[in-house]
Structure 1
């Protein structure tokens, strides 16, 4: 099973490479002309691209998560 996720948050143009096993988060530079670049173009046009992720939320703070809140 994959333990690396590419993550983008609404309102932020950057993408992040999250390596769960290594417990790292790194800014991602997308190589031009790749499938990932095509997905980024979809995102820039307002689309959402999700593959092999079954749960993801964005919240206002880590404290909200640790207290069990799922706020918008």
Structure 2
């Protein structure tokens, strides 16, 4: 089972890596090469790339999650 997730948000530059095993999130250093570079280029064109994740939701704050506003 994967324990690391790469995250990119629409309108935000750069990518982040969430290490679920260590409970950390940090910025990935550019330039991105290989498959990750290709995926980032597609993302820049508006594509959404999903692999190995069965649920992903974006929120503006932790408060929104606590209030269960994800149903909107």
Q: Which runs of 4+ in 1 moved over 6 A?
A: none
Contact 2:32 2:40 in 1 (8 A): no
**Unaligned ranges ≥5, structure 2:** none
Taking structure 1 as the reference length, the TM-score comes to 0.88
**Unaligned ranges ≥5, structure 1:** none
CA RMSD of aligned residues (A): 1.6
Aligned residues: 72
Q: Deviations over 1:2-27 (max 9, x none)?
A: 01000011110121000011000010
Taking structure 2 as the reference length, the TM-score comes to 0.88
Higher helix proportion = 2
